[in-house]
Amino acid sequence: MNHTIQSSNQTAIKLQSFGKLVILDRHFTIVGVTESVVKEHYTSEALLGTHFFHSFGHIFSEALLKVRNAVMELLENGQSRHILPIKIKNDRVYVKLRRHDEYLYIEWEQQHKKYIPAKKINELNFLLDTIQPNNWNRVCSAINKILNYDLVFVLQIQETGYSSVIAEHTANGRSSFKGKEFSKDFMPEEVLSYYRGYSYRYAPNMDDQGQEFYYKDESIDPLSSLLSPLPELHQLFLKEINVQSALFFRICIDDDFWGLVVAQHNEKRVVDLQQRKLCTFAIQAATSKYESHVKQNLLERTELLKLAEEELKKSLSENKMVNCALIQHMDILTQLVDADGLAIFNQGDVFSYGQSPPKAQFYEL
């Protein structure tokens, strides 16, 4: 993001415009504020450096006390975040409180849905309950039950930095991204940090020109706000394929960043915070199920490895020949590498187990 120096002690960058943001220090002094808030105060200079609860009475009106109580409760209980639905001048909004480093982030955005129908939640619960641990296609389908986007897919990021689409659900039923691979240049470290740092990222309007965010302290991290725009590389990519709105939900396995559930739509689409949170919970539930599945498989494989080691050692002590020991335990070896079959060619003899090439092919080789 390009920084524009506004004055000797003030900096401005661009954030998305679907919400408002104020950042406070530990004394509740305003050290950062978005343009949409400044407009109600005429200048950023008039707002930066003032006490939040003194300056925002006319904005939050009667709801200011609720915000203050929520802030105090957050700080006293040592929580990191809290969401408070309130009304500001007849508008329903979500106020999101978040502690990050030494600062308190106060964001608010319009509430677009009063509630999510129970039928929708029950459908989602049923889908999640019936999803097999490694069936990411069903996860994509479940998420799109909530979003109704054109495309939802899972992007798995390898340790090498390369990434690939391993599952998807499309509104039209036609395959779109599944099987596609991306080079590590598509997900450089700064981009990974962006997605890794928040449970989800949200861009309701790719044509959004954004709003200025003014701040005085260079140690403030604007990326910690949901209003932080998508990485420029991904903005260019999405515009190239005519995507107008997008959501990116983080997947973590064993606390490591594993991949993303990505939702794309070819029209501008506002998604209410409740829907985004519901998607987040659904993905966390599916991830937890997958994580348990992986750990169980690892445990079974470890036990199988121990069994193979013991059996091979026993056979070696009895036969004194490696080939004989291997042939006696071809079934275990096949399971160990999760193969369909195994064949051993030794001095003209072929020993096979499961699905393997015919003997004639070995002789040709």
| Model pLDDT, residue 353 | 77
User: pLDDT tier at 212 (50, 70, 90 boundaries)?
Assistant: very high
pTM value? Answer: 0.78
Q: Are residues 143 and 68 in the same domain?
A: no
Q: Are residues 45 and 190 in the same domain?
A: no
Query: Which one of 66, 84, 110 terminates a domain?
Result: 110
Q: Are residues 55 and 137 in the same domain?
A: no
What does the pLDDT average to over 16-39? Answer: 92
Query: Which one of 77, 110, 143 terminates a domain?
Result: 110
Distance CA 195, CA 221 (A): 14
Distance CA 86, CA 63 (A): 7
| Model pLDDT, residue 94 | 94
Domain membership flag for residue 265:
yes
Contact 153/248 with Cβ under 8 angstroms? no
As for how many domains the chain has, the answer is 3
For residue 256, the domain's CATH number is 3.30.450.40
Which backbone phi and psi does 341 adopt, to 5 degrees? -170, 175
Q: Is the pLDDT of residue 3 over 50?
A: no
Q: Is the pLDDT of residue 7 over 60?
A: no
Answer with the residue of higher pLDDT: 62 or 120: 62
Q: How many CB atoms lie within 10 A of CB 307?
A: 14
Domain membership flag for residue 344:
yes
Structure tokens at 167: 């599952």
Q: Are residues 349 and 259 in the same domain?
A: no
User: pLDDT tier at 313 (50, 70, 90 boundaries)?
Assistant: low
**E strand or H helix that includes residue 201:** strand 200-203
Domain membership flag for residue 308:
no
Q: What is the pLDDT of residues 55-112, one digit of tens each?
A: 888 888 889 999 999 999 998 888 888 999 999 888 899 999 999 888 999 999 999 8
Which backbone phi and psi does 182 adopt, to 5 degrees? -125, 145
Q: Are residues 267 and 185 in the same domain?
A: yes
| Model pLDDT, residue 78 | 80
Q: Are residues 104 and 144 in the same domain?
A: no
Q: Are residues 259 and 163 in the same domain?
A: yes
Exposure string (b/e) for 55-72, b if CB count within 10 Å is 16 or more? bbeebbeebbeebeebbe
Q: Are residues 200 and 241 in the same domain?
A: yes
Crossing angle (nearest 10°) for helices 273-319 and 118-130: 10
Q: Are residues 10 and 151 in the same domain?
A: no
Q: Is the pLDDT of residue 4 over 60?
A: no
Q: Is the pLDDT of residue 46 over 50?
A: yes
Q: Are residues 147 and 224 in the same domain?
A: yes
Structure tokens at 280: 């987040």
User: pLDDT tier at 343 (50, 70, 90 boundaries)?
Assistant: confident
**Closest C-alpha among 351, 146, 157, 362 to residue 256:** 157
Structure tokens at 146: 């909530």
Q: Which of 5-9, 144-148, 150-154 has the lowest mean pLDDT?
A: 5-9
Contact 88/60 with Cβ under 8 angstroms? yes
Query: Which one of 110, 133, 164 terminates a domain?
Result: 110
Domain extent at residue 333 = 321-364
Domain membership flag for residue 161:
yes
Domain membership flag for residue 79:
yes
Cα dihedral 226, 228, 229, 230 in deg (nearest 10): -70
Q: Is the pLDDT of residue 298 over 70?
A: no
Q: Are residues 129 and 278 in the same domain?
A: yes
Q: Are residues 138 and 99 in the same domain?
A: no
Crossing angle (nearest 10°) for helices 136-147 and 273-319: 180
Answer with the residue of higher pLDDT: 336 or 13: 13
User: pLDDT tier at 2 (50, 70, 90 boundaries)?
Assistant: very low
Domain membership flag for residue 81:
yes
For residue 22, the domain's CATH number is 3.30.450.20
Domain membership flag for residue 307:
no
User: pLDDT tier at 357 (50, 70, 90 boundaries)?
Assistant: confident
Distance CA 318, CA 29 (A): 79
Q: What is the pLDDT of residues 221-280, one digit of tens each?
A: 877 899 999 999 999 999 999 999 999 999 998 889 999 999 999 999 999 999 999 899
User: pLDDT tier at 342 (50, 70, 90 boundaries)?
Assistant: confident
Domain membership flag for residue 213:
no
Beta strands 81-88; 91-100: pairing state: antiparallel
Residue 20, beta-bridge partner list: 108
